[in-house]
């Protein structure tokens, strides 16, 4: 199906950006569909065939059948809480699930894939975009499912976290200790690298806002950059901007504590959070 869609697109003299615009998704997702890495919804296939001006009824039926037979429901589709996961977020979750190497820089928060449910819930409760308990529960479940899917893929993961995100106040000492303990537990995984950027390295911390970089197959350089917004995220795929983010991440890693030093720093911070500081 993917090969056929690519052939039809090229015959129509269109690029992947045209296809992505037609089905309201990212060009990276179109690339994944054409390479057979991910499946496409029947509705998306119909829109693409219309865009490519494919009129042969038999060919259209065949491709729609292939889409119907091969399509796998995205795991996030089961989490609705009365409202579906936003389209752009669903696109990000699909891209993240396919990634073989994930980089993330976080100056304020613990990266999403490393959060405990209690930490996520605290962030959700403070979010102006969450309007009900049901939605808050959904956000926590989606984030934990993201972690499960990531662990199954075995993708490489590298995170740089600024010191204030480690040492700054959290909802309670218990949540704080549990989150730091989880960070060090995850850091022991062979595919995980977690580094702490010291507070004093403020110049490096300003090299870029928080971002996630996604790489695929043997590509070490990111093909997708994801930026968070208040209510959603922005997906960037312009190849011209990728070297800037690679440079930013390399700069951050070079002045951060080593993974071993980072684990020791996290343990020291965890030990400093005493039970006596617990809220009544």
Q: What is the predicted pLDDT for the residue at 279?
A: 46
- Strands 156-162 and 192-197, sheet pairing: parallel
Identify the DSSP state of 109: S
Strands (E), the chain: 101-106, 156-162, 192-197, 211-215, 224-228, 233-236
- Distance CA(157)–CA(161), nearest Å, equals 13
Identify the DSSP state of 147: H
Domain shared by 119 and 34, yes or no: no
Q: What is the predicted pLDDT for the residue at 139?
A: 83
Q: Report which secondary-structure segment, H or E, holds 69.
A: helix 57-70
| 32 φ/ψ angles, rounded to the nearest 5 degrees | -65, -40
Q: What is the predicted pLDDT for the residue at 29?
A: 87
Domain shared by 114 and 14, yes or no: no
Q: What is the predicted pLDDT for the residue at 82?
A: 53
| Residues shown for the chain | 280
Burial of residue 81 (number of CB atoms within 10 Å: 0-12, 13-18, 19+): middle
Residue 115's nearest CA partner among 137, 158, 146 is 146
How many domains, in total, are found in the chain? 2
Domain shared by 67 and 176, yes or no: no
Domain containing residue 131: CATH number: 3.30.870
Written as tens digits, the pLDDT of the chain (280 aa) is 888 899 899 999 999 999 999 988 888 889 988 887 777 888 889 899 999 999 988 888 878 877 776 655 667 767 755 554 566 677 788 788 878 899 999 999 999 999 999 999 988 887 766 667 887 888 888 889 888 888 888 899 999 999 999 999 888 899 999 999 999 999 999 999 999 999 999 999 999 999 999 987 656 788 889 998 877 788 888 888 999 999 999 999 999 999 999 999 999 999 998 754 444 4
Residue 247's nearest CA partner among 213, 215, 271 is 213
By the 8 A CB rule, do 222 and 242 touch?
A: yes
Intra-chain end-to-end CA distance of the chain, in Å: 60
Domain shared by 38 and 128, yes or no: no
What one-character-per-residue DSSP string does 75-106 give?
Answer: GGGG--TTSPPPHHHHHHHHHHHH-SEEEEEE
Q: Which of 72, 94, 124 is the last residue of a domain?
A: 72
Question: What pTM was computed for the model?
Answer: 0.74
Domain shared by 201 and 111, yes or no: yes
Q: What is the predicted pLDDT for the residue at 72?
A: 55
Domain shared by 109 and 234, yes or no: yes
Q: Which of 39, 72, 105 is the last residue of a domain?
A: 72
Helices (H), 154-258: 163-167, 173-187, 202-205, 242-254
Given CA atoms 213, 216, 219, 220 in this order, what sign does their dihedral have?
Answer: positive
- Distance CA(162)–CA(201), nearest Å, equals 9
Q: What is the predicted pLDDT for the residue at 17?
A: 93
Domain extent, residue 246, equals: 76-277
Domain shared by 162 and 49, yes or no: no
Taking the CB of residue 183, how many other CB atoms lie within 10 A of it? 26
Residues 6 or more apart in contact with residue 152 via CB below 8 angstroms: none
């Amino acid at each position: 199906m993917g090969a056929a869609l690519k052939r039809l697109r090229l015959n129509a003299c269109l690029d992947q950006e045209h296809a992505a615009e037609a089905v309201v998704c990212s060009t990276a997702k179109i690339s994944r569909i054409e390479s057979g890495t991910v499946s496409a919804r029947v509705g998306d296939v119909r829109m693409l065939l219309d865009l490519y001006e494919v009129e042969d009824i038999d060919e259209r039926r065949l491709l729609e059948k292939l889409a119907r037979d091969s399509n796998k429901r995205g795991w996030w589709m089961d989490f609705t809480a009365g409202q579906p996961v936003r389209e752009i977020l669903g696109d990000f979750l699909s891209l993240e699930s396919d990634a073989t190497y994930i980089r993330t820089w976080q100056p304020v928060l613990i990266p999403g894939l490393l959060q405990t449910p209690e930490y996520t819930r605290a962030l959700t409760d403070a979010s102006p975009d969450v309007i009900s308990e049901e939605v808050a529960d959904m956000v926590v479940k989606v984030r934990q499912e993201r972690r499960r899917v990531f662990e199954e893929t075995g993708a490489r993961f590298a995170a740089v976290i600024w010191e204030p995100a480690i040492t700054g106040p959290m909802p309670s000492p218990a949540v704080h200790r549990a989150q730091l303990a989880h960070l060090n537990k995850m850091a022991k995984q062979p595919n995980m690298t977690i580094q702490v950027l010291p507070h004093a390295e403020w110049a490096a911390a300003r090299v870029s806002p928080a971002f996630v970089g996604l790489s695929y197959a043997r590509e070490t350089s990111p093909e997708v950059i994801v930026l968070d917004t208040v209510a959603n995220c922005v997906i960037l795929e312009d190849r011209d901007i990728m070297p800037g983010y690679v440079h930013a991440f390399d700069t951050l890693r070079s002045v951060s504590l080593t993974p071993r030093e980072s684990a020791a720093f996290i343990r020291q911070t965890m030990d400093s959070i005493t039970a006596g500081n617990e809220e009544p």
